[in-house]
Amino acid sequence: MASYIMTDVQLVGAGANLDALPAAGFEWEVLEVGSSVWVGVAPNAVPQVNVGIFNGLIGPAWILQAVNTRGWNRVQRLHVNVTNYLRLNNPGGAGANVSFVAKVARAFGAAASNVITQLATVAAGANWDLIPVAGIEWLITDVGSSLWIGAAPAGLPDVTVQIFDATLAATVCRGADVRGWDKNMHLLFNTANYLRLTNTNAAQAVLGISGVVARAFGAGATVVETDVQAIGAGANVDVRPAAGEEWCVYEIGASVWLGVSPAALPALTVQIFDATLASTILTSTDWKGWLNDMQIYIDNTNYLRFTDTGGGGNFCISAALTRQYS
């Protein structure tokens, strides 16, 4: 019986590449990357390897870089198939033993791949909208770009990541600010509320996403509760599941951010609210809760209250219905 562990280590020459490339009919999830050579100043040194999404024609759109710490302090959740895979580049002047840890996520044979990882060449200042077809929900786990902004080791992909409903948009990550880049993204989308990427570099760039089909629901009801709403200056908006529903909120963003880059944050105060008492879990002035994975469970009794602190704008959530009961 064939192994479903796809972990590998190979000697990669100076400037050469190792591709994490599944065979046709297989999907992999890449969880870790390493090298025998590390670069940078301790305790922030990282493996000497650049990791990007590649399709053999354009890219890579870099997810990790050897000169920047972005994304290294987490388990990777990078989804690949034979069409869009990972290129591991050794940027050093000598060979190094480069490794990746991966597992077979799915063997799909002649069926359609569930991996929606892809690339696009995007002009300076232009948008790339990623919209599932009706009856499909997507999960985006990472975003990268061929062009990064900021001085090493604090560089970031030069791209703005937004939730968009074809009218309103709110930002989850932006290249000028560290917030949201060092954790695994958990961005859920359907045809009504989807992903907009904007190339914020002055030059054309290759942008990339890692993701999978989260659910195919056909003519049934979507469980994705991702949404964008307008919020007035200083106003409150409650996000409250219907009676008998439980939701998990995985991400929060806003169209207005406060603070000095690279430390700016969405201009929101976020509270747990029960229609009488409120307890704050996120503020626009404090790091707490914004940098790490987010899982906020709410129901009709204890839900989220959003308060604008930036003079009005839009806010967004990435969320899913996790349970429904009578």
CATH number of domain containing 308: 2.60.120.340
Work out the percent of the chain whose per-residue pLDDT is above 90.
Answer: 98
Residue 7 has pLDDT above 90, yes or no: yes
Residue 25 has pLDDT above 70, yes or no: yes
How confident is the model over 87-112, as pLDDT tens digits? 999 999 999 999 999 999 999 999 99
Work out the percent of the chain whose per-residue pLDDT is above 70.
Answer: 100
Q: Is the pTM of this model over 0.85?
A: yes
Q: What is the predicted pLDDT for the residue at 1?
A: 62
Please count the CA atoms within 13 angstroms of the CA of 166 that sit on its side-chain side: 5
238 within domain boundaries: yes
32 within domain boundaries: yes
119 within domain boundaries: no
How confident is the model over 161-203, as pLDDT tens digits? 999 999 999 999 999 999 999 999 999 999 999 999 999 999 9
**Domain C-terminal end among 110, 138, 168:** 110
Q: What is the predicted pLDDT for the residue at 301?
A: 98
Q: Are 287 and 180 in contact (CB under 8 A)?
A: no
**Domain C-terminal end among 110, 132, 147:** 110
Q: In angstroms, what CA-CA distances link 148 with 65, 154, 175, 187, 293? A: 10, 10, 8, 21, 23
DSSP code for 4:
S
**Domain C-terminal end among 110, 134, 160:** 110
Closest C-alpha to 185, from 286, 294, 96: 294
Closest C-alpha to 117, from 147, 138, 98, 97: 138
Identify the sign of the CA torsion 146, 147, 151, 154: negative
How confident is the model over 276-290, as pLDDT tens digits? 999 999 999 999 999
31 within domain boundaries: yes
Q: What is the CA radius of gyration of the chain?
A: 20
Task: Mark 194-207 as b/e (b = at least 16 C-beta within 10 Å).
Answer: bbbbbbbbeeebbb
Count of domains observed in the chain = 2
152 within domain boundaries: no
86 within domain boundaries: yes
The domain that holds 51 is classified in CATH as 2.60.120
230 within domain boundaries: yes
**What range does the domain containing 55 cover?**
1-110
